[in-house]
Amino acid sequence: MRATVPNPFDELMEHAKRLTDGDTREQIVASIFQTSRQICQETVTYTKQEKRYETEKLDRIFTSKIWGFPIMLAMLAVVIYITIAGANVPSSLLAEFFGWLEGYITLLFQQLHAPSWLHGILVLGLYRGTTWVVSVMLPPMAIFFPIFALLENYGYLPRVAFNMDRLFKKSGAHGKQSLTMAMGFGCNAAAIMSTRIIESPRERMLAILTNNFVPCNGRWPTLILLASLFMAAGYTGGWKTFATASVVVAMVVFGIIVTLTVSWILSKTALRGVPTHYTLELPPYRRPKIWDTIVRSTLDKSVYVLKRAVTVAAPAGVLTWVLANIHVGDTTVLAYSAQLLDPFARQLGLDGYILLAFILGLPANEIVVPILLMGYLSTGALIEVDGLHSLKQIFLDHGWTWLTALNMMLFSLLHYPCGTTLVNIYKETKSKKWTFLSFAIPTAIAIVVTFTTAHLVQWFGLL
Amino acid sequence: MNKREYTIALAGNPNTGKSTLFNVLTGLRQHTGNWPGKTVIHAEGFFTYKNEEYRIIDLPGTYSLYSNSADEEVARDFIIFSKPDVTLVVLDATALERNLNLALQVLEMTDRVIICLNLMDEAKKKGIVIDIANLSKKLGVPVVPLAARNKEGIEELLETVARMVHGEINTTPLVVAYSRAIEEKIAKLLPLVKEVVGEEYPARWVALRLLDGDTSLLHALQHHPHHFLKEGATYACHCAKSV
């Protein structure tokens, strides 16, 4: 029936098509722009000419071909330096406080004649896992993110995107990927959602698959901790912080290089195509409400960290404690699994416990180090972890060298995304294949890189 | 007693303080989700002013409404198909010229527009003086100066919104004059457009979009994006029909 009656809509479209020519859009846009300009000329006056081109002047510096990148790196270094320098004291204060509290909780359990397994699960598992996450994660996050938010609100972040745009284009990706990458510093799971700003499915997939290569919330502290314990060991005072910051910055830069390389390889193979054009608007620089920004982002992040600590770290702490205390023969399930993984892990310059911690840490990267510590401590005499100094001793007791620390940092930076992120990737792509690939590609890279590093160092006899 | 709820759309470029205004107006009475079938964030909220209920939809921040992207399509479709009682266009007073482009496009689509000239505090600091009355006269719709983050101008805005939903404000939106060639084509197309899509939609604007080769719009007109209407009887057009 329908086919016989000509559709009036189609007819209209046909009619319009006959009238139109190639540059109609340009003409329309030109008239609109012209009208806007005219209206402004008649309604807007500038009383401070020198302020009029402030943004342009600043942009000439911040997005300059020569200064753009050095300034970006310097900013990153300063942010990380402030984070590390500022987080040390509150971190150890919190750790001391929780240690002090644990003494009383243990006393309470003894008073109540609670069975030792209950004390084990609740205090040594749940309490320690949770308080670790809080004391190690909270201070750096409460410093890093407000600074980050300030830079964003000042309008610097779009300039970063502008600078990075060229690199991403060259690797066949979308310029906006640098923005989703920046989101990844906060949380990869949230960044996966933010890839929606990229229209083309191909480029969006690139952004999703490579987002994991920037360290998130849960991995910053691991990087900072290991860098300060092992990489900056030879320095003291301010230089120590500086050395730690340099190592962490190097890690971030390495992550970005991997992002670009993987994007490039994928855009030449599985996700072939030309990057689409887009206009990136550079909003004017403006001073944010400084206190508002700081207070809001600190609160946001604190709530976030605390929530994660309770929902993810607590159950994982319990699980790890249980695994470490169920005996099969004369060894525990945890120790047994670690032994099983050990030969492979050694090839990567790690050990069985580290790899096991990464596997058990799939739900959240925050809990990798606490699980690792629990694993280590369950094998030997139980030491009270009351500060960062004793931490290093635990690692050293288990045969760590700077190479172990370096490989763990690299593995942490490059390995598969956390469970939440994977769930989000599946939700966004609706594809099992791409979700699997976003697990497999980083994992393969992490294995190859750590394997190469471990063997190169041994080969050159650097250890 | 039939108490109706008014619908307000919030449009604007990114980085104009659109979300700040949305938060100031709604406080905690808001929720977010996805636009049906789209991976675009949908935020809506509610507020009460002088005992009347308002529902406000924060459209995605865009630079134009030419359906270059899902964001732009969502914003365009909402204004065209849901016919909000008022569309607020938030402009950055420190970058008026660039921001006006979007406002002019909205004015082509609906006459129930209020221009929110936001970031006035910032503009003042930069020595930018805007002749509000003249701007309002030129655009043919009310212009309200705001500094949303300091909550300045909100009362005047709410009052203007209330007057507009009650039909107390007559607007004569600016008609952008196009080149002679385009104007001629519009004139040729206009009768047919009115015949096919009816009086319900802004014919001149539809004609322009057709000349622009925007097939997605015609498709949408033909198949009435039901998800926009289905959401509930709260939409103005629905209420009118069901009464």
pLDDT single digits (tens) A363-419: 888 888 888 887 887 754 444 555 666 788 889 988 999 999 999 999 999 999 998
DSSP chain B: ----EEEEEEEE-TTSSHHHHHHHHHTT-EEEEE-TTSSSEEEEEEEEETTEEEEEEEPPP-S--S-SSHHHHHHHHIIIII--SEEEEEEEGGGHHHHHHHHHHHHHH-S-EEEEEE-HHHHHHTTEEE-HHHHHHHHTS-EEE-BGGGTBSHHHHHHHHHHHHTT-----PPPPP--HHHHHHHHHHHHHHHHHH-TTS-HHHHHHHHHTT-HHHHHHHHTTTHHHHHT-TTSHHHHHHH-
Nearest CA-CA distance, residue B242 and chain A, Å: 27
Could you tell me the CA-to-CA distances from A227 to A80, A221, A349, A410, B225 in Å, in that order?
12, 10, 16, 11, 55
- Minimal Cβ distance to A47: which of B14, B127, B222: B127
Nearest to B83 by CA among B202, B210, B223, B214: B202
Q: What is the end-to-end Cα distance of chain A in Å, rounded? A: 82
Q: Tell if the CB–CB gap between B95 and A284 is shorter than 8 Å.
A: yes
SS3 A327: strand
Question: What b/e readout covers B103-138, taking b as 16+ CB neighbours within 10 angstroms?
Answer: bbbbbbbbebbbbbbbbbbbbbebebebebeebbeb
Measure CB to CB from residue A27 to each of B125, B179, B218 and give the nearest one: B179
Instruction: Measure in Å the smallest separation between the Cα of A191 and chain B Cα atoms.
Output: 14
The per-residue pLDDT for B125 is: 87
Question: How many beta-carbon pairs below 8 A join chains A and B?
Answer: 134
Structure tokens at A204: 């969006």
Q: Chain A contact for B90, CB < 8 A? A: no
Q: Inform me whether the pLDDT recorded for B243 exceeds 50.
A: no
d(CA B136, CA B61): 23
Q: Which of B59, B109, B107 is nearest to B83 (CA)?
A: B109
Alpha carbons B128 and A45: distance in angstroms, whole number = 6
Nearest CA in chain A to B104: A32
Mean pLDDT (whole number) for A272-298: 77
Please compute, for residue A170, the number of CA atoms within 13 A of its CA located in the half-sphere on the CB side. Answer: 9
pLDDT tens digits for B162-210?
999 999 999 999 999 999 889 999 998 898 888 888 788 899 999 998 8
Domains of chain B: 5-176 (3.40.50.300)
Please answer yes or no on whether A12 and B122 come within 8 Å at the CB atom. no
User: What are residue B45's DSSP bridge partners?
Assistant: B30, B56
DSSP bridge pairs for B31 = B44
Please answer yes or no on whether B15 and A9 come within 8 Å at the CB atom: no
Q: Rounded CA gap, B65 and B68, in Å? A: 8
Closest chain B residue by Cα to residue A13? B210
Q: Which residues of chain A does B97 touch, with a Cβ-Cβ cutoff of 8 Å?
A: 36-37, 40, 44
Closest CA to B76 of B64, B85, B88: B64
A236 CB within 8 Å of a chain B CB:
no
B39 touches chain A (CB under 8 A): yes
Would the CB atoms of B126 and A39 count as touching at under 8 Å?
Answer: no
The pLDDT-based confidence of B39 (bands split at 50, 70, 90) is low
* Residue whose structure tokens are 């996450």: A133
> Among candidates A186, A159, A183, A161, which has minimal Cα distance to A174?
A161
Distance CA A228, CA A70 (A): 24
Tokens of B128: 């930018």
B134 contacts on A by Cβ (under 8 Å) = 42-43
Per the prediction, chain B carries an average pLDDT of 84
Q: Is the pLDDT of residue B239 over 70?
A: no
Name B145's bridge partners. B117
Structure tokens at A425: 């990737």
Domain regions of chain A by residue span: 68-459
Residue listed under structure tokens 């790899």: A355
Write out chain B residues lying below 8 Å of A196, CB-based: 39-41
Cα A101 to Cα A96: distance, rounded to the nearest angstrom:
8
Closest-CA residue of B relative to A15 is B189
Neighbours of A93 (CB within 10 A): 12
Is residue A2 pLDDT above 50, yes or no?
Answer: no
Tokens describing residue A105: 């909780």
Give the tens place of pLDDT for each residue, A98-148: 889 988 998 999 999 888 888 888 887 788 778 877 887 788 888 888 888
Q: What is the pLDDT of residue A463?
A: 67
Q: What is the mean pLDDT of residues A434-444?
A: 95
Q: Does B24 touch chain A (CB under 8 A)?
A: no
